[in-house]
Amino acid sequence: MAFKLPELPYSLSALEPHISKNTLEFHYGKHHQAYVNNLNNLLPGSGFENAGLEDIIREANGGVFNNGAQIWNHTFYFTTFSPDAKGKPEGSFAGLIEKEFGSFDDFKAQFTTAAATLFGSGWAWLVRDNNGALSIVKESNAGNPLRDGLTPLLTCDVWEHAYYLDYQNRRPDYLKAYWDVIDWNIVAGRFDKV
């Protein structure tokens, strides 16, 4: 099975000033596309020729895992954003955040700290376990919590290519802007699907 770069649900300039068109042209258009190209080149003879991305994440290693997970991670990340984002979740999902973390502001602070303190490249994740409990986990490089049986709800890419063109090495500035583009209806919908 050949993979394709999924289309974004918004224009490349729709997230400005938080995430620039220039960043999306490189992050989505070049980096994300490179993972797709690399995986398609690695699949023949790998035993994963007909596997979906989630199977690749759970079972593969090496380059097949790295590129497959990065396709999934980036697609998940980009499809969480909206130019019409609201500042915080509402309804029952907001109640779950408050129950697990004390308040939305406490959750936001804990998630931001996880993303800011992840050494090197990787991802901060809000996940749900099989009992419905929420937690924040950090994964290095292409790591994905699906591998640990957790359901991803939200992620923040802290590879430098996610923010360097807009924020240089100022990861905290990128993390502050990140919250302004989260579509909480999508995040809540991911919780409800399980």
- Per 3-state DSSP, what percentage of the chain is helix, strand, and coil (rounded to 5)? 55, 10, 35
Q: Are residues 118 and 183 in the same domain?
A: yes
Q: Domains in the chain: how many in total?
A: 2
In a domain, 69, yes or no: yes
Convert the pLDDT of each residue in 96-131 to its tens digit: 999 999 999 999 999 999 999 999 999 999 999 999
Q: Are residues 39 and 126 in the same domain?
A: no
Domain of 33, CATH number, reads: 1.10.287.990
In a domain, 28, yes or no: yes
In a domain, 3, yes or no: no
Evaluate if residue 194 carries a pLDDT over 80. no
Domain of 149, CATH number, reads: 3.55.40.20
> What is d(CA 39, CA 32) in angstroms, rounded to the nearest whole number?
11
Reported as a pLDDT band with limits 50, 70 and 90, residue 34 is very high
Q: Are residues 114 and 181 in the same domain?
A: yes
Q: What is the pLDDT of residue 192?
A: 85
Cis omega (within 30 of 0) on the bond before 17?
yes
> What is d(CA 21, CA 188) in angstroms, rounded to the nearest whole number?
27
In a domain, 5, yes or no: no
- For the chain, give the percent of residues with pLDDT over 70: 99
In a domain, 140, yes or no: yes
Across the range 48-72, mean pLDDT stands at: 97
Q: Which domain holds residue 185?
A: 91-193
Q: Taking the CA atoms of 29, 62, 52 and 142 in sequence, report the sign of the dihedral they define.
A: negative
Q: Are residues 73 and 153 in the same domain?
A: no
In a domain, 1, yes or no: no
Q: Are residues 141 and 107 in the same domain?
A: yes
Paired residues of 158 in beta bridges: none
Q: Are residues 69 and 116 in the same domain?
A: no
In 3-state terms, what secondary structure has residue 63?
helix
Give me the helices (H) in the chain, please.
Answer: 21-26, 33-42, 53-59, 62-78, 91-101, 104-117, 164-167, 171-178, 184-193
Q: Are 16 and 181 in contact (CB under 8 A)?
A: no
Q: What is the pLDDT of residue 1?
A: 74
Reported as a pLDDT band with limits 50, 70 and 90, residue 86 is confident
Give the mean pLDDT of the chain.
Answer: 96
Q: What is the pLDDT of residue 141?
A: 97
Across the range 53-69, mean pLDDT stands at: 98
C-alpha angle 152-176-76 in degrees, rounded to nearest 5: 25
In a domain, 133, yes or no: yes
Convert the pLDDT of each residue in 139-188 to its tens digit: 999 999 999 999 999 999 999 999 999 999 999 999 999 999 999 999 99
User: Could you give phi then psi for residue 117, rounded to 5 degrees?
Assistant: -100, 0
Reported as a pLDDT band with limits 50, 70 and 90, residue 55 is very high
For 17, 29, 118, the CA distances from 124, given in Å and listed in that order, are: 22, 22, 8
